[in-house]
Amino acid sequence: MDRPRRRRPRFLSLPDAIAAHVHDGDAVAMEGFTHLIPFAAGHEVIRQGRRDLTLYRMTPDLLYDQLIGMGCVRRLVFSWGGNPGVGSLHRFRDAVEHGWPRPLELEEHSHAGMAAAYAAGAAGLPCAVLRAYTGTDLPRVNPRIRFLTCPFTGEQLAAVPAIRPDVAIVHAQRADRAGNVLLEGIVGVQKEVVLAAARAVVTVEEVVDDLRPGGPNAVVLPAWTIDAIAVVPGGARPSYAHGYYRRDNAFYAAWDAIARDRETFLAWMRAHVLEARPPQVTGQTGTA
């Protein structure tokens, strides 16, 4: 019997990578903790018209506001949904408060719970155990937050199910030609979500001969943890890629007015996402 082969990433264009790996009804996690948010990939999901997605994300911000407002999302699993430092996500609120453009199911956690659930997913465990949620109303509204007793100390601990998405999508600074990926700066939960997911799509700023790790806390995802890599310079804008470009704080502030009104939002999405060409892709093939 053949031994199962190690996974090898394919270098694809962004539209091909999304078409190959994101299907209607999938559970999708696009992560990036403020830094390296995969905006270009998310916009491609919107352009391809995916529906009934379950989206995971610790901090659904502008990208998920856009996906929700465009009707791609059935269910959201999250721990904090806002425009950090600016205010509300109006499309998210409209979906929750008024069911527009469709009702949104919520599964709500705390950051500690969700971070632990990703780590459990990466570790192949069925659930995460942690000290959390004590005295809060979150377990009352989320039946997937439960409690168990430590077999050694008798302490009551919280348990949340591991997150195992169908597909993880992250953005990173660079890949080498074999498809190993380097991320540095604020690394968030990106390593965990790639390892937790059944499939992983990574967009990168560039492909290089040598990853030249930038610092001792840089995260390298080995090539065999990834299914598809698309070269998308600027793929995290208006978020940022440490060492490449800055966070566009002015756009985050401007989004508040754009998203407040349904028509203004739809007009902006038509002009800047639906009718926009996918970001220029270099056609980089690598050797993988």
Partner 1 sequence: MMTVAAARALTDDDVCFVGIGLPSAACNLARVTHAPNIVLIYESGTIGARPSALPLSIGDPELCETALTTVSVPELFAYWLQGGRITVGFLGAAQVDRFGNINTTVIGPYAHPHARLPGAGGAPEIASHCQEVLVIVPHTRRAFVPRVDFVTSVGHATGGDARARLGLHTRGPTLVVTDLCLLRPDPETRELVVTGIHPGVRREEIAARTGWPVRFAAEVAETPPPQAHELAALRDLVARSAPAAPAP
Q: Are strands 199-208 and 167-176 parallel, antiparallel or unpaired?
A: parallel
How far is residue 238's CA from residue 247's CA, in Å, rounded to a whole number?
6
Stretch that binds partner 1, among 17-25, 161-169, 242-250, 277-285 (CB under 8 A): 242-250
Q: Give residues 158-197 in contact with partner 1 (rule: CB under 8 A).
A: 185-189, 191-192
Among 24, 25, 102, 134, interactor with partner 1 by CB under 8 A: 134
The least distance separating partner 1 from the CB of residue 118, rounded to whole angstroms, comes to 6
Among 28, 46, 115, 231, interactor with partner 1 by CB under 8 A: 115
Stretch that binds partner 1, among 7-15, 49-57, 248-256, 264-272 (CB under 8 A): 248-256
- Is residue 225 within the footprint of partner 1 (CB under 8 A)? no
Nearer to partner 1, 50 or 109 (CB): 109
For residue 191, give the amino acid letter. Answer: K
Nearer to partner 1, 26 or 165 (CB): 165
Residues that bind partner 1 (CB under 8 A): 33-35, 58-59, 78-82, 84-86, 88-89, 92-93, 96-97, 108-112, 115-116, 118-119, 130-138, 141, 155-156, 185-189, 191-192, 217, 219, 240, 242, 246-247, 249-250, 252-253
